[in-house]
A = this chain, B = another copy of it.
Amino acid sequence: MTASEATNAGLGRVVEPSGVLPQAAWRLDASPEIADDEVLIRVERLNLDAASFRQLAGKHDGDGDAVRAEVLEIVAARGKMHNPVTGSGGMLIGVVEEAGPQSPLGLKAGDRVATLVSLTLTPLRITDGLARWDGRSEQVPAEGTAILFGRSVAAVLPDDLAPELALAVYDVCGAPALTDRVVREYDRPVTVAVLGGAGKSGSLSLAAARLAGARTVAVVVSAKEAEIVRNAATADEVRVADARNPVAVSRAVTEALGGPATITVVCVDVPGCEHGAILATAAGGTVIFFSMATSFPAAALGAEGLAADVTMLIGNGYLPGHAEFAVDVLRRVPAVRRLFEERVAGH
């Protein structure tokens, strides 16, 4: 790695331990003086990761003042909002204050942006004591500064979407972009099964698959979720099955599509979905794992044990243009937009 690549990845911001990347670091330097390839953001709101907020609220029995105090402590101690228990962060919204002359991100002062890299690696300083936050919601109004490295991702917020809606889309925008890419790598006809097809990443992946020309089946956990997908008509077929039951998943997909799927997308955030996904996928097909609950050994050994010639992808949250792609899917498929709007409104 050249010196400039190291800087791009934010290594200059790592205080301790040295030699690791910012995400793995215990403490970052969050000072607002930027390097030539960095961008300074004036923070407007943090969006805490759901797992992180749940842990903090649980620890303090819902005492908002105590939650706020701990978030301030974490940020002061670590230079980033990196929950040491859950290991997770979240993202933020803010306005570009200053873009270094060598920043490759294409941002300029005044742009209102969402950061698409995790808060676990974003240098952050809070200056208002989070005075406007009651500690009772993942949405944290905040004043302060954050830093984007050269090698980072931020998206300018679109004019036609509420910021909350854009954030919800950006949170899962890698899934539809990668689904689209993989569908286009196969000759037609292509079939796609999405496990967890009623959720945010699932519905965007279904929509992206169909826009790319695939026939789709949503596998969902309950009749209620099946109704959501049917009403939204985001999939060609809908089946109810427990994603952790390989036999049930395989049967549901095979019946719906007339055979195993060319591509199976796992968007169910519970452990144990690897074998069903593998068994539901045709020889020569691909399984894309987007769930953070995926077990690497279960997938690797499961495919081997089933003598399954399937390509298994670790769902990368980044593809060039993924944020714009996901917003475009939302604009083209009003039913998906409605699902997201209802989700953001708390229905």
Flag if B313 contacts A20 (CB, 8 Å): no
The interface-forming segment of A93-101, A131-139, A246-254 is A246-254
Flag if A151 contacts B307 (CB, 8 Å): yes
Flag if B312 contacts A311 (CB, 8 Å): no
Q: Told that A89-B301, A118-B301 touch, could you supply 5 new A-B pairs with CB distance under 8 A?
A: A1-B250, A2-B254, A24-B275, A152-B307, A153-B304
The minimal Cβ–Cβ distance linking A240 to chain B, given in whole angstroms, is: 16
Q: Residues of B contacting A88 with CB < 8 Å? A: 297, 301
Q: How many copies does the complex hold?
A: 2
- Residue numbers of A with Cβ under 8 A of B are 1-2, 5-6, 9, 11, 19-24, 87-89, 116-118, 120-121, 151-153, 174, 244-248, 250-251, 254, 272, 275, 279, 289, 292, 294-320
The minimal Cβ–Cβ distance linking A254 to chain B, given in whole angstroms, is: 6
Q: Residues of B contacting A314 with CB < 8 Å? A: 289, 296, 299-300, 303, 312-314
Q: Is the interface of A mostly helix, strand, loop or mixed?
A: loop
Q: Residues of B contacting A303 with CB < 8 Å? A: 314, 316-318
Q: Residues of B contacting A301 with CB < 8 Å? A: 23, 87-89, 118, 120-121, 292, 317
> Given the complex of chains A and B, what is the CA–CA distance between A245 and B279 in angstroms?
36
Residue of B nearest to A318 (CB): B304
Residue of B nearest to A181 (CB): B311
Flag if B319 contacts A309 (CB, 8 Å): yes
Flag if A246 contacts B20 (CB, 8 Å): yes
Decide yes or no: A21 and B306 within 8 Å by CB, A1-B279, A5-B250 being known contacts.
Answer: yes
Flag if A296 contacts B292 (CB, 8 Å): yes
Flag if B315 contacts A21 (CB, 8 Å): no
The minimal Cβ–Cβ distance linking A286 to chain B, given in whole angstroms, is: 10
Flag if B21 contacts A305 (CB, 8 Å): yes
Closest 5 CB pairs of A and B: A304-B317, A1-B250, A312-B314, A121-B305, A87-B297
From B20, B89, B151, give the contact of A275 (CB < 8 A). Answer: B20
The minimal Cβ–Cβ distance linking A280 to chain B, given in whole angstroms, is: 8
Flag if B296 contacts A294 (CB, 8 Å): yes
The minimal Cβ–Cβ distance linking A248 to chain B, given in whole angstroms, is: 8
Decide yes or no: A24 and B313 within 8 Å by CB, A5-B250, A305-B118, A305-B121 being known contacts.
Answer: no
Flag if A19 contacts B247 (CB, 8 Å): yes
Decide yes or no: A174 and B23 within 8 Å by CB, A1-B250, A314-B299 being known contacts.
Answer: no
From B151, B250, B296, give the contact of A295 (CB < 8 A). Answer: B296
Flag if B298 contacts A308 (CB, 8 Å): no
Residue of B nearest to A299 (CB): B314
> Given the complex of chains A and B, what is the CA–CA distance between A5 and B253 in angstroms?
13
Decide yes or no: A302 and B21 within 8 Å by CB, A254-B1, A318-B308, A319-B309 being known contacts.
Answer: yes
> Given the complex of chains A and B, what is the CA–CA distance between A272 and B301 in angstroms?
20
> Given the complex of chains A and B, what is the CA–CA distance between A318 and B301 in angstroms?
9
> Given the complex of chains A and B, what is the CA–CA distance between A300 and B9 in angstroms?
16
Decide yes or no: A310 and B316 within 8 Å by CB, A247-B19, A289-B296, A301-B23 being known contacts.
Answer: yes
